[in-house]
Amino acid sequence: MHALSRLLPRALAAALALCLAASAGLAAGGPSELAGIRLGQNVDELSGKLASTTVDRSPQRPSLGVVPVAPLPGFRSGYVDVGLCAKPGRVVRVKLNYADESLAFFNKIMEALKKRYGEPKEWRGNAFGTLRTWKWGLRSPSGEPVSLILMHYEGDDGAFTDGNSIRIAATSMVREEELCRAAEKKISAADEKNARGAMNAEALGLDWFLPR
């Protein structure tokens, strides 16, 4: 009995250590790549995977540029978001739309993601079942925080992409670009104010500035 009481704490400690190791492995086991496109990679390195070399400013996020991807096996379309300020051309987000738009395929991908990354942390669907969105908060092998979103939509709202889509984003890289853009806007506003001041000074005429 005494021997068992001595062994029990050791067994509990070992089990706890295993649980902690498993959770740590999961935390650092998030994705950093989707269909051969890696977060943090520069668009110059993605020859053959992008439909264009032109980077357009994203209408939803002015701090980022957007480039459509070329046709990829198993996907019908997609795009990458890239930096425009902190690190121009750096891929910070990848979104791809699966060729298979069925709910059955969505459920299949969902189960595979749960086995790989555990249960998702956030649900963003609606009560009608036309929108099903699950989100994971993970970390890449390098420790970079990464969000993973799987979505299924079947409806008439043009704000959502029909069918099944998946997205990974390096959240701290996205934030870097947002902060850089905000700083740029402050500088631009200051330059514009100074320019207006200079114009007003010119309107006063040179004689205004001379002693009489």
Q: Which residues pair with residue 91 across a beta bridge? A: 82
Q: Where are the domains of the chain?
A: 26-180
Q: How many residues does the chain have?
A: 212
Q: Cα(166)–Cα(84) distance, rounded to whole angstroms?
A: 23
Exposed/middle/buried for 162, CB within 10 Å: 0-12, 13-18, 19+?
middle
Question: Can you read off the two tokens belonging to residue 34?
Answer: 């989707």
pLDDT, one tens digit per residue, over 132-176 is 999 999 998 888 899 999 999 997 776 788 999 999 999 999 999
pLDDT, one tens digit per residue, over 164-191 is 999 999 999 999 999 998 887 775 555 5
- Compute the average pLDDT of residues 38-63: 87
3-state class (DSSP) for residue 150: strand
